[in-house]
Amino acid sequence: MATSERFKTISAASAKRAASMFHYGNIVAALVPGFAILWFGLSMLVFAVNSHHPDPRVLDFNRRAARNFYPVMAFVLLIVGAGFGGLTEKLGINRLLHSLGLDTLGHHLLGLDPNLMALLVAMWALLFVVLLPTSIVALLQIQRTEWHDIVQNTSSQE
């Protein structure tokens, strides 16, 4: 059996880029109305790809971005789905949404109500207010973080 020593270098720039990716997606979702729905799916891919990065700080920054994005997006999706019936009834949150005055948004979507755009802009504004500042702060922290190349031993036994 021969052992071959192989080393793989992950650059500091690569780690920094991986740590920033989710935050950049959050910024685009906050700035471009409607992109949040697409980013909802793409963000899961970005998180999965970067979750096994050798530098643990990459996962920390990605978790922070996910903690900012997914709760806000869940709230938006619940409000949009409130008027479609079954989902909110099964979750038992109809009374809560009704008391907040948010139980009719889905009905507006179904009927293409003229106020639809105002309601969707309100949902986008929520994404804007929450995601933009938190992502900018995180990107500044990523820029200030000292990143180093990581050398991995990928030796295999033959």
Whether residue 115 is predicted with pLDDT greater than 80 in this model: the reply is: no
Answer for the pair 19, 142: CB distance below 8 angstroms, yes or no: yes
Q: What is the pLDDT of residue 1?
A: 47
Q: pLDDT-derived band of residue 95, with 50, 70 and 90 as boundaries?
A: low
Task: Give domain limits for the chain.
Answer: 3-157
Tell me which of 16-20, 84-88, 90-94 is least confident.
84-88
* Contacts for 115 with CB less than 8 Å, ≥ 6 apart: 108
Number of alpha carbons in the 13 Å side-chain half-sphere of residue 29: 32
Whether residue 143 is predicted with pLDDT greater than 50 in this model: the reply is: yes
Which of left, alpha, beta for 153 (phi over 0: left; psi -120 to 50: alpha)?
beta
Q: What percent of the chain has pLDDT above 70?
A: 68
The pTM score is 0.73
